[in-house]
Amino acid sequence: MYLPSGAGLQTRSRLISQFERSGNLRIDRLAAASLANELEINKNQTTKALARLGKTLSSITELPKVSPPSSFEATLRPYQLDGFRWLHFLSSHHLNGILADDMGLGKNVQTLAYLATLPRQDQDALPSLIVAPTSVIANWELEAERFTPSIKTLLLQGAGRSLLFSQIPDQHLVLTSYPLLHRDREVLLKQEWKTIILDEAQYIKNPKTNAAQVACQLKSEHRFCLSGTPMENHLGELWSLMRFTMPGYLGDENSFSTNFRRPIERHQDTGVQKILNRRVSPLLLRRTKDEVARDLPPKTELLHHISLSKKESDLYESVRAAMDKRVRDALAAKGIAKSQIIILDALLKLRQICCHPSLLKTESAKKVRTASKMTFLTEELLPGLVEEGRRILLFSQFTSVLKLIENNVQTKNIPHLKLTGQTKNRSALVKSFQTGKFPLFLISLKAGGTGLTLTAADTVVHYDPWWNPAAENQATDRAHRIGQTKPVFVHKLICQGSIEDHIFTLRKRKAKLVKSLLSKETSKLTIDSETLSQLFEPFP
């Protein structure tokens, strides 16, 4: 049922041939379960367990109708209950996966409902671990206390956390952040975990980072990734997340690039794209707001194309020409791999001119007194929105830009708050905004683009839209999420004819790739013969 006869014979022939040639065999656990069941291999405990797994999965047609325990103090929406059951199904069959719901659909509460089902009475019960960005780890502690008060939770944070290491084995749940994975690696690697959850798992999208390497070395029975953006830039990021959850399932990095990434990204091979979708979809659950949260109010995007002044455009063109030559010379001399810093520096300078010429610390930039985008924002857009009674979140990737905006809105007597990576009292600022005391919240994209609930806002402004639409969408979802009752308007400020304008064209191609991967196939919850066939499909 779970392997078509043709595929089964091909798989068996290929694997036996490989074994005869080398005397050993390395395949992922799902393929091993399929083979053990098909060939009725039960010589030892390991092969018996694999055969049992293969037989069990072959007879399942739908998700078991399990419910969160009575100790879980929240009511799940229907799609959240399905997500909880999906997590429970995977873990009960020793499988792992990626919960990739849109931002704002409640991945945290679904995860806590699943963690509440884990046995905790046994003295030898293992603790579970949640790794999250520093900016949201405290929010996990608050939500665990709210929804699962019976779970003993330990937060590892700050300079004094080493005093808490001895308490780890006695906990039900331990919370830590990505930067601390490497610093506390000896302690974390020594501990065996029941379940490891990586929140905002795109933090390990680069497999070469310390966080990704330590995460993959941790010992656990179950592993899950939570991410509204499991792929932001290229398919290699998806591979990195799958390497953590299901090592070997997509092959090694080189074979994945050869078999999938290059054909799809370079040649737009739709046949290979379908094969990858079928391979990944059983272990990646994706629901969008449009599909499951139809009660959310509408979201409207408004693009503002701003013309640069004569002095600004002259400055832009002179810098562009100089940077173009510099980049071309670097590419000719070093190649693209060794020219990344020069390329990024060139892009940064052009972006700075679009945001405000004063950001570019050159003599020619100092002579340009106008800043068209800033003028449009602070003279036209913001005053009009405030006068209409709008509650506004304004995002920028640059803290220096936020400072300039702050200086301008102060002269307009617009009450405001500001949140950057240096902010200590995040929760107090959020509370002040949510209670309606301030109409404007200036937020650094990196520091406040995730982990905040700001449903009091009905307007979002992206001052400097850039290459990654996923990061912008995450920021927008601070307002457009469960709990929002008003229509949300999203304003994007783009300097016409500039690097910002050109990037929007390039974004369309990447958006198409993301949409293809996170398709309807990854929102399936029915466990049928077709889905199981996808699980056990041989690696190309």
Contact predicate 397/351, CB 8 Å: no
Contact predicate 168/174, CB 8 Å: yes
129: closest CA among 179, 197, 183, 223? 197
CA dist 131 → 209, 312, 371 (Å): 15, 45, 41
Q: Looking at 148-224, list the stretches that DSSP marks H as alpha helix, in order from N- to C-terminal side.
A: 178-183, 185-190, 210-217
Sheet holding 416-419, edge to edge: 299-306, 488-495, 459-462, 392-396, 440-444, 416-419
CA dist 267 → 132, 247, 263 (Å): 35, 27, 5
Q: Provide mean pLDDT across the span 510-527.
A: 59
Express each pLDDT in 442-461 by its tens digit.
999 988 887 788 999 999 99
Instruction: Report the pLDDT value the prediction gives residue 269, as an integer from 0 to 100.
Output: 84
Q: Provide mean pLDDT across the span 214-240.
A: 91
CA dist 151 → 71, 148, 214 (Å): 9, 6, 26
How much is the pTM? Answer: 0.66
Instruction: Report the pLDDT value the prediction gives residue 193, as an integer from 0 to 100.
Output: 96
Instruction: Report the pLDDT value the prediction gives residue 116, as an integer from 0 to 100.
Output: 94
Burial class (CB in 10 A: 0-12, 13-18, 19+), 253: middle
* Spatial distance between the Cα atoms of 300 and 296, rounded to a whole number of angstroms: 12
Q: Provide mean pLDDT across the span 372-401.
A: 93
| pLDDT of 297 strictly over 90 | no
- Which strand (E) or helix (H) includes residue 139? helix 137-147
| pLDDT of 3 strictly over 50 | no
Q: What pLDDT band is residue 492 in, cutting at 50, 70 and 90? A: very high
What percent of the chain is helix, strand and coil (3-state, nearest 5)?
55, 15, 35
Maximum alpha-carbon separation in the chain: 81
Instruction: Report the pLDDT value the prediction gives residue 513, as an integer from 0 to 100.
Output: 64
Please indicate whether residue 3 or residue 276 has the higher confidence score (pLDDT).
276
**How many C-alpha atoms does 432 have within 13 Å on its Cβ side?**
14
Q: What pLDDT band is residue 190 in, cutting at 50, 70 and 90? A: very high
Instruction: Report the pLDDT value the prediction gives residue 44, as an integer from 0 to 100.
Output: 55
Q: Provide mean pLDDT across the span 323-330.
A: 83
How would you classify residue 436: left for phi > 0, otherwise alpha for psi between -120 and 50, otherwise beta? left
Express each pLDDT in 332-374 by its tens digit.
888 877 878 888 888 889 899 999 999 998 888 888 888 999 9
Q: What pLDDT band is residue 40 in, cutting at 50, 70 and 90? A: low
Contact predicate 300/490, CB 8 Å: yes
| pLDDT of 135 strictly over 90 | no
User: How big is the chain, counted in residues?
Assistant: 540
Instruction: Report the pLDDT value the prediction gives residue 517, as an integer from 0 to 100.
Output: 63
- Which strand (E) or helix (H) includes residue 220? strand 219-226
Beta bridge partners of 306: 495
Q: Provide mean pLDDT across the span 36-41.
A: 51
- Which of 17-26, 52-61, 273-282, 373-382 is modeled with the greatest confidence? 373-382
| pLDDT of 529 strictly over 70 | no
Q: Which amino acid is at 503?
A: I
* Spatial distance between the Cα atoms of 295 and 485, rounded to a whole number of angstroms: 9
Please indicate whether residue 370 or residue 154 has the higher confidence score (pLDDT).
154
Express each pLDDT in 56-76 by its tens digit.
555 555 677 899 999 999 889
Average pLDDT, the chain: 82
Q: What pLDDT band is residue 113 in, cutting at 50, 70 and 90? A: very high
Contact predicate 222/91, CB 8 Å: yes
Please indicate whether residue 392 or residue 318 has the higher confidence score (pLDDT).
392
- Per DSSP, 283 falls in state G
* Spatial distance between the Cα atoms of 154 and 172, rounded to a whole number of angstroms: 8
Sheet holding 97-99, edge to edge: 153-155, 173-177, 128-132, 192-199, 219-226, 97-99, 284-285
Domains of the chain and any CATH numbers: 1-63+525-540 (no CATH), 80-293 (3.40.50.10810), 295-308+373-523 (3.40.50.300), 310-369 (no CATH)
Q: Looking at 59-106, list the stretches that DSSP marks H as alpha helix, in order from N- to C-terminal side.
A: 78-92
Beta bridge partners of 300: 489
| SS3 state at 33 | helix
Please indicate whether residue 237 or residue 335 has the higher confidence score (pLDDT).
237
Q: 344-352: long-range contacts (C-beta < 8 A, 24 or more apart)?
A: 347/499, 349/319, 349/323, 350/316, 350/319, 350/320, 350/323, 350/498, 350/499, 351/464, 351/466, 351/499, 351/500
499-517 helix and 270-280 helix, angle to the nearest 10 degrees:
60
Q: What pLDDT band is residue 99 in, cutting at 50, 70 and 90? A: very high
